[in-house]
């Protein structure tokens, strides 16, 4: 279920819009001001952000600036009662992907959301690139990046993480991992596997929405 951060200080409009989006199959997390929205964005992983421009505490443009320092890819749609061309240009310069003027049609908003999510899905289907929570995992470059900070992985770490991320939220048996990466199921190689699992846990520790779970006696599961 795609997850939307929706920021709107008009409670009635927020309720109606989020209700309509939820009926269309989206998970919607709402905030009434920019500071609360930024806190939510830093705590959770969202597929798209819908931001009102005129917000208390921190306006939508400043919120978008902060979001872009954390994530360059997440789509941002601005909603505003201001129809000035300058505002639209400013929003796009700050990293916004689209702009809707109030009052807007919910079907048009849903269509824009679908378009951006489809583009994101196509991008994430690249064989050498994966999203792991807030991380970006590049197999070719052998690194994982968060907030423009990248960790270079070893070849074994890269192969192990790729194997896990191809089956997210699913248990992968120890013997399957050992045979796939080390070529055989061996007790001493199993100790090496445990070391690499520990390394990956440390690499992924900065995103609490991601966990590498040990299913005792069975295998491992990448929860994301």
Domain check: are 113 and 137 in the same one? no
- 113-130: pLDDT as tens digits: 988 887 665 555 555 888
Task: Kindly report whether the peptide bond that precedes residue 201 is cis, defined as omega within 30 degrees of 0.
Answer: no
Domain check: are 213 and 156 in the same one? yes
Q: What is the pLDDT of residue 121?
A: 58
Average pLDDT on 54-68 reads: 92
Q: What is the pLDDT of residue 94?
A: 72
| Secondary structure tally for the chain: helices H, strands E | 8, 12
Return all residues near 89 (Cβ < 8 A) that are at least 6 apart: none
* Count of CA atoms in the C-beta half-sphere (13 A) of 151: 18
The domain containing residue 120 runs over which residues? 3-124
* Residues 45/136, Cβ–Cβ less than 8 Å: no
Kindly write down the DSSP assignment for every residue of 156-181, as one continuous string: HHHHHHHHHHTSTTSEEEHHHHHHHH
Number of structural domains in the chain: 2
Domain check: are 83 and 164 in the same one? no
């Amino acid at each position: 279920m795609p997850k939307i951060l929706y920021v709107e200080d008009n409670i009635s409009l927020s309720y109606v819009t989020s209700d309509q989006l939820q009926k269309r199959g989206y998970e919607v997390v709402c905030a009434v001001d920019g500071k609360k929205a930024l806190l939510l964005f830093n705590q959770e992983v969202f597929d798209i952000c819908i931001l009102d421009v005129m917000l208390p505490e921190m306006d939508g443009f400043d919120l978008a600036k902060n979001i872009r320092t954390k994530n360059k890819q997440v789509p941002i749609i601005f909603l505003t009662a201001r129809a000035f061309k300058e505002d639209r240009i400013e929003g796009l310069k700050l990293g916004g992907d689209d702009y809707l003027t109030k009052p807007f049609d919910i079907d048009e908003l849903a269509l824009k959301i679908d378009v951006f999510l489809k583009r994101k899905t196509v991008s994430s289907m690249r064989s050498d690139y994966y999203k792991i929570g807030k991380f970006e995992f590049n197999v070719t470059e052998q690194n994982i990046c968060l907030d423009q900070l990248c960790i270079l992985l070893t070849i074994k770490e890269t192969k192990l993480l790729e194997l896990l991320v191809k089956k997210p939220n699913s248990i992968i048996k120890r013997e399957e991992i050992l045979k796939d990466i080390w070529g055989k199921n061996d007790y001493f190689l199993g100790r090496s596997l445990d070391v690499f699992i520990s390394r990956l846990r440390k690499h992924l520790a900065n995103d609490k929405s991601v966990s590498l779970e040990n299913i005792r006696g069975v295998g491992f599961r990448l929860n994301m």
